[in-house]
Amino acid sequence: MNKTKIKNFSIWARRNLIEVVAYRMRFLGIDENGIAPEMDGSTDKLKLYDMGTSKPAEVADKDIAKRVRLASHIREHEKTSDYKTAYETVVEEIAYTWFNRLIAIRFMEVNDYLPSGVRVLSSESGKREPDIVTNAVEVAEAEGFSISKDDIWKLKDENKLDELFRILFIQQCKKLHEVLPELFDNSQDDYTELLLPISFIDDDAFIRHLVTDIDEADFNLSEQGQVEIIGWLYQYYNSEKKDAVFAAMSNKVKVSKENIAAATQLFTPDWIVRYMVENSLGRLWVDGHADTSARSEWKYYLDEAEQTPEVQAQLAEIRAGRKDLTPEQIRFIEETVA
């Protein structure tokens, strides 16, 4: 796993996504200075907002409800901070939401975990056009996407491939809600869709960097890939913000609730997870099943230190009570310190 490439991509990705989300938000009449009210001339089907240019921002049809929900979300954050902090927090949230979704899809497509079996961000043949665009008609019909065959061919004939890609990608995300409901939204007023920074044609866009900057083998579990690449991407994505938080703490600046996660939610590498599991669950199991063969496969298990006869007698009594223990009966409580 090339962690240098992963780190460089993740740091770039955070900056890029935040910049693009903020840029797209301005076209909804929302920026760091405030949320613009409706302008005269707005209708039920078309809302106009001043965005500081000669032409107003236009929000139409179903996007109106999404914009309302976005503005409400910022206002909710503003109740416990100030507008600028609330705005920046929501921009970060949306950028990170799309980062997580795109990374998840990349991992799934490389390992053939997508229910459709068709790549979304890339092509198995190595061509630039994603397989979901190439096979748009077949995928849309099989997955039940809300786009007609005629509309697909129209967009292809007009060479509006990025527009088609965006539609198919959003439909795929809604479909993935069925298997990953905590990550993918299928609601009609998902405002993050308005701010989706996606293009497979643009060399400087997120998709192209994700597909080309990180070796595909690093995602592929059948080659050198590991599932913990997702954890490293998360860790590096937040590294600049974490460094800024710790720098502020060294200057006696109190950590705000918006920055707690960046300072405390750190990725746990695979070997540490194995160490903790083998010496907690593993030790508990060995206590009641000393002849278990699983112990020979544990790399980080530590044998218990030599004990006094009195302690040995107490431990023997405890172990005797664990002989009938089954895995389903074992429960753990994890304490998170923030």
pLDDT, residue 222, reads 85
What is the residue-wise DSSP string for 297-327?
G-SS--PPPP--HHHHHHHHHHHHTTTT--G
Nearest to residue 122, comparing CAs of 3, 111, 265? 111
pLDDT by position in tens, the chain (length 338): 888 999 999 999 999 999 999 999 999 999 999 999 999 999 999 999 998 889 999 999 999 999 999 999 999 999 999 999 999 999 999 999 999 999 999 999 999 999 999 999 999 999 999 999 999 999 999 999 999 999 999 999 999 999 999 999 999 999 999 999 999 998 888 999 999 878 999 999 999 999 999 999 999 988 866 778 888 898 899 887 776 666 766 767 676 666 666 666 666 777 778 888 888 888 888 877 777 777 778 889 888 788 898 888 888 887 787 777 777 887 877 665 44
pLDDT, residue 314, reads 86
pLDDT, residue 146, reads 92
- Rounded Cα–Cα distance for residues 10 and 275 (Å): 27
pTM: 0.79
Please count the residues of the chain: 338
pLDDT, residue 278, reads 87
pLDDT, residue 338, reads 45
pLDDT, residue 275, reads 87
pLDDT, residue 265, reads 62
CA distance readout (Å), 311 to 128, 290, 307, 315: 66, 18, 6, 6
- Rounded Cα–Cα distance for residues 134 and 310 (Å): 72
Burial 111-136 (b: 16+ CB within 10 A, else e): eeebebebbbbbbeeeeeebbbbbbb
In this structure, which amino acid lies at residue 150? D
Q: What contacts 1, CB < 8 A, 6 or more positions away? A: 218, 224, 225, 226, 229, 232
3-class state of residue 160 by DSSP:
coil
